[in-house]
């Protein structure tokens, strides 16, 4: 897979770094005064320090206010469950707690959202059958 680059704003660069590196375990790459690169599953994700962040727009999904701007990982089922369990034990205040959607259907998936210090949101997903990641039926 070709790596992609994603940049996102944060009002708390050091807090973002502590969370992504220390809690989630992502590797830090190049850094500067106002940005930090992270290796997230081989992709270059960069947090950029901003002076203020606007309110996140949301979209109603399954009765939840899902942030319209978020990013994250699709993980293997067991890895996803282990991360959800580890974050729960650590007292994580999930933005949207671990949930299984479409139970028993072809697109069965697990998902949860966490707030990153400084205003960003990450989603962690898994699919019972990863081959259904882009399936329309």
Place of tokens 């999904």: 61
The per-residue pLDDT for range 91-132, each reduced to its tens digit, is 999 999 999 999 988 889 999 999 999 999 999 999 999 888
Q: What is the mean pLDDT of residues 32-61?
A: 91
Confidence (pLDDT) at 122: 97
Q: Please give the radius of gyration of the chain, using alpha carbons only, rounded to the nearest integer.
A: 15
Query: Looking at the 3D structure of the chain, how many domains does it have?
Result: 1
The domain containing residue 87 runs over which residues? 5-50+60-132
| 115 within some domain | yes
| 31 within some domain | yes
Confidence (pLDDT) at 135: 78
In this prediction the pTM is: 0.91
* Residue percentage of the chain with pLDDT more than 70: 99
| 55 within some domain | no
User: pLDDT category, 75, cuts 50, 70, 90?
Assistant: very high
CATH at residue 78: 3.10.180.10
| 137 within some domain | no
Taking all residues of the chain, what is their mean pLDDT, rounded to a whole number?
A: 93
- Residue 35, C-beta contacts closer than 8 angstroms, at least 6 positions apart: 7, 13, 46, 47, 48, 49
């Amino acid at each position: 897979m070709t790596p992609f680059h994603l940049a996102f704003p944060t009002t708390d660069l050091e807090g973002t770094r502590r969370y992504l590196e220390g809690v989630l375990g992502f590797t830090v790459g190049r850094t500067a005064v106002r940005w930090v690169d992270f290796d997230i599953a081989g992709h270059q994700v960069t947090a950029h320090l901003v002076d203020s962040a606007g309110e996140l727009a949301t979209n109603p999904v399954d009765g939840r206010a899902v942030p319209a701007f978020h990013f994250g990982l699709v993980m293997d089922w067991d890895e996803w469950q282990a991360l959800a369990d580890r974050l729960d034990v650590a007292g994580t205040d999930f933005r949207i707690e671990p949930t299984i959607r479409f139970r028993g259907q072809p697109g069965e998936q697990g998902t949860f959202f966490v707030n990153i210090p400084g205003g960003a949101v990450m989603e962690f997903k898994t699919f019972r059958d990863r081959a259904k990641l882009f399936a329309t039926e």
